[in-house]
Amino acid sequence: MLNQNSTIIVTGGAGYIGSHTIIELLQQTNYNVVSIDNFSNSTAKTFERIEAITGKQVKNLNVDICNLEALELALGKVKDPIGIIHFAAFKSVPQSVGDPLLYYHNNIASLVNILKICKKLSIANFIFSSSCSVYGNVEKLPVTEQTQFSVAESPYAHTKQMGEDIVTNFTKSESKFKSVLLRYFNPVGAHPSGFNGEYPRGRPDNLVPYITQTAAGILQKLTVFGDDYDTRDGSCIRDYIHVSDIADAHVRALNYLIENKQKKATSVFNLGTGVGVSVLEAIGSFEKVTRQKLNYEIGPRRPGDVISIYANNDFVKKELDWTPKYNLDDMMSSAWKWQVHLKDEQ
Ligand code: UD1
pLDDT at 4: 64
Distance CA 210, CA 225 (A): 12
Residue nearest to atom 6 of ligand 1 (CA): 91
Rounded mean pLDDT of the chain? 96
Residue nearest to atom 19 of ligand 1 (CA): 207
Distance CA 42, CA 14 (A): 6
What does the pLDDT average to over 267-285? 98
Q: Enumerate residues lining ligand 1, CB below 6 A.
A: 91-93, 131-133, 157, 184, 186, 205-207, 210, 222-225, 236, 238, 279, 302, 305-306, 309
Distance CA 81, CA 118 (A): 9
Exposed, middle or buried: residue 201 (CB in 10 Å: 0-12, 13-18, 19+)? exposed
Lowest mean pLDDT among 251-255, 259-263, 312-316: 259-263
pLDDT at 304: 75
Strand 237-238 relative to strand 277-278: parallel, antiparallel, unpaired?
antiparallel
What does the pLDDT average to over 87-94? 93
Distance CA 161, CA 140 (A): 19
Band of the pLDDT at 90, cuts 50, 70, 90?
A: very high
184 is catalytic: no
Helix pair 279-290, 207-215: axis angle to 10 deg? 40
Residue nearest to atom 27 of ligand 1 (CA): 236
Distance CA 279, CA 332 (A): 13
Band of the pLDDT at 1, cuts 50, 70, 90?
A: very low
Residue nearest to atom 21 of ligand 1 (CA): 207
pLDDT at 335: 98
Q: Is the pLDDT of residue 62 over 70?
A: yes
Count other Cβ atoms within 10 Å, centred on residue 52.
12
Q: Is the pLDDT of residue 158 over 80?
A: yes
What contacts 107, CB < 8 A, 6 or more positions away? 89, 90, 156, 159, 160, 163
Ligand 1: nearest atom to the Cα of 299: 22
The 10s digit of each residue's pLDDT in 290-325 is 999 999 999 999 987 889 999 999 999 999 999 999
The strand ranges marked E within the chain are: 7-11, 32-36, 59-61, 81-86, 125-131, 178-184, 186-188, 222-225, 237-238, 240-242, 266-271, 277-278, 296-299
205 phi, psi to nearest 5 deg: -95, -30
DSSP 195-241: S-----SSS--SHHHHHHHHHTTSSS-EEEE-S-SSSSSSS-EE-EE
pLDDT at 54: 98
Q: Is the pLDDT of residue 5 over 80?
A: no
What does the pLDDT average to over 191-212? 94
Band of the pLDDT at 77, cuts 50, 70, 90?
A: very high
CA 59 vs CA 10, 37, 223, 244: distances in Å: 10, 10, 39, 21
Ligand 1: nearest atom to the Cα of 279: 29
pLDDT at 64: 97
Residue nearest to atom 13 of ligand 1 (CA): 93
How much distance in Å is there from the Cα of 101 to the middle of ligand 1? 21
How much distance in Å is there from the Cα of 39 to the middle of ligand 1? 23
How much distance in Å is there from the Cα of 283 to the middle of ligand 1? 14
CB contact at 8 A, 49 and 23: no
Among residues 103, 156, 256, 326, the one annotated as catalytic is 156
Count other Cβ atoms within 10 Å, centred on residue 228.
10
Count other Cβ atoms within 10 Å, centred on residue 82.
19
The 10s digit of each residue's pLDDT in 207-227 is 999 999 999 999 999 999 999
Strand 240-242 relative to strand 186-188: parallel, antiparallel, unpaired?
parallel
